[in-house]
A and B are shown apart, each in its own frame.
Chain A
């Protein structure tokens, strides 16, 4: 049976990278005594898959992993048992039962929503709701993506699903592509926004929280974003 587990990651745990979070959960599941399925073969490993890697330094309210179990307890018992094994900073939020033919978490990811605030003293005064609206209403948003080997320029606009600024809370809301093919780092959008306003950005001043991870229940053309957890059912 496949379960989809939603968790949050806050505080000092934001300095723990993706691979270490996976290793952390492998141990936590053993400690909790969850009846997880193991792969066959000489060195069996837990059947587990994570949705979208979260960058070091980011917090999240919407992380997902899928695991396969041999037997079920109640969903609330599962959440409580696993929460009893969590270090300060990671909380299990919900668990849902998946259909056997459901796509795995990683392959299902289409987008993620982020909120971005600024550290004390780092909030730029040029930033307002209307500036962000102007930025987002551009025909195209050309950015240069640098990798270790090459540099490429492309139009980011189709990969941004929503972009707005909440003047009251001084908060940028962003929904962008998070699929393995087209993943956009939220800081890249902020950097384009600053370029657009001819301002210099100090990325270390950003506080980024992933609020939710989505799958696309529509089509490639008619995108319908639903939280990854909505695919499963209560049990």
Chain B
């Protein structure tokens, strides 16, 4: 029996001790004797969130296929255990071996959202690893970051030795080999990092220097050594049907957010919505073959015992083999008594038919994401969805017996006017009207329920809106109140429920999203003042953050509400994500001109991703 890092007394005194014991079905135990590289893979949030993340499952599987590597998992201890570990000076440990993280070779941290930055510091701190990369020696693991936020790693540059830019399947093997060689040769940590910086997709922040203009914008961003590349190009898997994917994902004991088999059917998205970072970062769209997905679906269900399977992608309706795959799954799942969940499906006759077959009709509600209330603004954001399509989909659904509709919008989009906001209310009302016109009185099962939710728009790096000013908190709230008022004036207002997001946290996320290296200091300071779990409303302390920015002489408005000029050097410009800055500028101009850009399936718009020579860029477009 394994020994646990925490005593029974501690485990019985904290909420959900199962978060910390490991031993889950399909978790990987190895004999330390034959292992050259110990890799701790971290999702810096609580276990139930971290365990729901597909990327870690993929990399965990990949690393553990390497005979010389043992990859283990670590998540953020919840504040109750955090306090105990600090008090008793218990070093943070990996779930599998229960060994301290500080004794590992690598600590890999996936950075999925900006609001987890202080949790990264919590992980380092509890692990007893120096928070600043500059203070680490060979006594400490190499701390490496990845995931979407590493496309602007600058606000957390001081805390990481390395960032891996792009998809993890490709460069880890060369990186581990380099590490083994450097350790065998007794190379210095600095020498290892310098060699690593020459690998594709690898960014080592310490070898780059930033100079600023007097107005605070960047004057230059350049390597400090001639042998370090100026640009870092993202890594990408060119053939998604012939790569790592877990056949035996780890099955948690406790209920997690994603409590099912997840089948990633494709990466990237053809749509090019101008607010969406993922839609640009993961270009070009690449599909996995239907054969591979069928095989993995069966294996993963058999190896986990899950009673549900979900398809994952940015836009499942655009997957070319969807009908064949779903038909296969419906048959298999009926036989195995497994549910199928199909998020991110366009609502049309096909998807309604599928949902009718696979889901409990009484329970489900339909989701549309028009994102903006008027056609004009939907053109600005390049969201192809028209009012006609939404109403047609809703009518079809109402005929099929659905009576709950969820609508997602954003407030604070570039060029947004009062009329666009009015449009949110009117569209919600039209959907209610469609219900009452479609469903005769005697067939109605109560009122139609429409839930309209708005989030606040936050401009993100590598999107056409990276130049756009973000709204102030006051502007955000004003727009939310305007939306609420407009909805309350609709004829069917009693059928419409309106929710809006927290404005403070949106301001904060905006600061971090387009931040630069100068934010490392306030992030460290806010953490030292006790900020952790910022992504959790009950723990987020806006007052402390704002006070800390003031103490560090930082104006949050510089990062959020400021108008950026077209020739400004952005902190993330040294990264080449495939999509060129020229393309993004063209798209920004087309947005202001209210012009829609065709999707990748219809026509190539020369974004730059074609140079990866894969996916949609090399697919015949004539046969959609």
Q: Which residues of A contact B (CB under 8 A)?
A: 10-13, 15-17, 20, 23-24, 26-31, 38, 42-44, 56-57, 85, 87-89, 119, 204
Q: Which residues of B contact A (CB under 8 A)?
A: 1-2, 4, 8-9, 11-13, 17-18, 21-25, 251, 253-255, 301-307, 336-337, 339, 360, 362
A-B contact pairs, 30 of them (CB 8 A): A10-B1, A11-B1, A11-B2, A13-B23, A15-B21, A16-B18, A16-B254, A20-B18, A20-B253, A20-B255, A23-B255, A27-B25, A27-B305, A28-B305, A29-B305, A30-B301, A30-B307, A31-B25, A42-B360, A42-B362, A43-B339, A43-B360, A85-B25, A85-B305, A87-B23, A87-B24, A88-B23, A89-B1, A204-B9, A204-B13
- What is the distance, in angstroms, from B338's C-beta to the closest C-beta of chain A? 9
A12 touches which one: B22, B255, B302, B362 (CB < 8 A)?
Answer: B22
Closest to B27 in A: A87
Known: A26-B307, A89-B1. 12 other contacts (CB 8 A): A11-B1, A11-B23, A15-B12, A15-B17, A16-B254, A27-B25, A27-B305, A30-B307, A43-B339, A87-B23, A88-B23, A119-B8
**Which 5 A-B residue pairs are closest in the complex by CB-CB distance?**
A27-B305, A30-B305, A31-B305, A15-B17, A12-B21
Are B305 and A26 touching (Cβ within 8 A)? yes
- Assess A89 versus B337: contact at CB under 8 Å? Given A27-B305, A30-B305, A31-B304: no
Q: Given the complex of chains A and B, what is the CA–CA distance between A30 and B24 in angstroms?
A: 16
- What is the distance, in angstroms, from A16's C-beta to the closest C-beta of chain B? 5
Are A20 and B254 touching (Cβ within 8 A)? yes
Are B305 and A12 touching (Cβ within 8 A)? no
- What is the distance, in angstroms, from A25's C-beta to the closest C-beta of chain B? 9
- What is the distance, in angstroms, from B22's C-beta to the closest C-beta of chain A? 7
B305 — which chain A residues lie within 8 A by C-beta?
Answer: 26-31, 85
- What is the distance, in angstroms, from A163's C-beta to the closest C-beta of chain B? 24
Are B303 and A57 touching (Cβ within 8 A)? no
Q: Given the complex of chains A and B, what is the CA–CA distance between A39 and B337 in angstroms?
A: 11
Are B360 and A12 touching (Cβ within 8 A)? no
- What is the distance, in angstroms, from A214's C-beta to the closest C-beta of chain B? 27
- What is the distance, in angstroms, from B360's C-beta to the closest C-beta of chain A? 5
Closest to A203 in B: B12
B23 — which chain A residues lie within 8 A by C-beta?
Answer: 11-13, 87-89
Are B304 and A57 touching (Cβ within 8 A)? no
- Assess A27 versus B251: contact at CB under 8 Å? Given A11-B1, A12-B22, A15-B17: yes
Q: Given the complex of chains A and B, what is the CA–CA distance between A115 and B377 in angstroms?
A: 70
B307 — which chain A residues lie within 8 A by C-beta?
Answer: 26-27, 30
Q: Given the complex of chains A and B, what is the CA–CA distance between A56 and B411 in angstroms?
A: 46
Are B18 and A31 touching (Cβ within 8 A)? no
- What is the distance, in angstroms, from B526's C-beta to the closest C-beta of chain A? 33
Are B254 and A204 touching (Cβ within 8 A)? no
- What is the distance, in angstroms, from A8's C-beta to the closest C-beta of chain B? 13
Closest to A44 in B: B337
B255 — which chain A residues lie within 8 A by C-beta?
Answer: 20, 23
A26 — which chain B residues lie within 8 A by C-beta?
Answer: 305, 307
Q: Given the complex of chains A and B, what is the CA–CA distance between A20 and B362 in angstroms?
A: 26
Closest to A42 in B: B360
Are B9 and A16 touching (Cβ within 8 A)? no
Are A16 and B253 touching (Cβ within 8 A)? yes
Q: Given the complex of chains A and B, what is the CA–CA distance between A74 and B13 in angstroms?
A: 43
Are A15 and B1 touching (Cβ within 8 A)? no
Are A204 and B12 touching (Cβ within 8 A)? yes
Q: Given the complex of chains A and B, what is the CA–CA distance between A140 and B21 in angstroms?
A: 42
Are B4 and A12 touching (Cβ within 8 A)? yes
Are A57 and B254 touching (Cβ within 8 A)? no
- What is the distance, in angstroms, from A206's C-beta to the closest C-beta of chain B? 10
- What is the distance, in angstroms, from B11's C-beta to the closest C-beta of chain A? 6
Closest to B13 in A: A204
With most chain A CB atoms within 10 A of its CB, the pick from B8, B9, B22, B305 is B305
A43 — which chain B residues lie within 8 A by C-beta?
Answer: 339, 360
Closest to B23 in A: A12
- Assess A24 versus B253: contact at CB under 8 Å? Given A12-B21, A56-B17, A57-B8: yes
Closest to B14 in A: A15
Are A56 and B360 touching (Cβ within 8 A)? no
Closest to A119 in B: B8
Q: Given the complex of chains A and B, what is the CA–CA distance between A145 and B212 in angstroms?
A: 68
With most chain A CB atoms within 10 A of its CB, the pick from B12, B255, B303 is B12
- What is the distance, in angstroms, from A86's C-beta to the closest C-beta of chain B? 9
- What is the distance, in angstroms, from B505's C-beta to the closest C-beta of chain A? 31
A27 touches which one: B12, B306, B336, B337 (CB < 8 A)?
Answer: B306
Closest to A28 in B: B305
Q: Given the complex of chains A and B, what is the CA–CA distance between A15 and B47 in angstroms?
A: 15
Closest to A89 in B: B23
- Assess A38 versus B337: contact at CB under 8 Å? Given A56-B17, A88-B23: yes
With most chain B CB atoms within 10 A of its CB, the pick from A13, A15, A17 is A15
A24 — which chain B residues lie within 8 A by C-beta?
Answer: 253
- What is the distance, in angstroms, from A148's C-beta to the closest C-beta of chain B? 17
Q: Given the complex of chains A and B, what is the CA–CA distance between A158 and B24 in angstroms?
A: 41
A42 — which chain B residues lie within 8 A by C-beta?
Answer: 360, 362
B362 — which chain A residues lie within 8 A by C-beta?
Answer: 42
A13 — which chain B residues lie within 8 A by C-beta?
Answer: 23
- Assess A87 versus B9: contact at CB under 8 Å? Given A27-B251, A56-B17: no
- What is the distance, in angstroms, from A124's C-beta to the closest C-beta of chain B? 17
- What is the distance, in angstroms, from A53's C-beta to the closest C-beta of chain B? 15
Closest to A43 in B: B360
Closest to B301 in A: A30
Are B2 and A12 touching (Cβ within 8 A)? yes
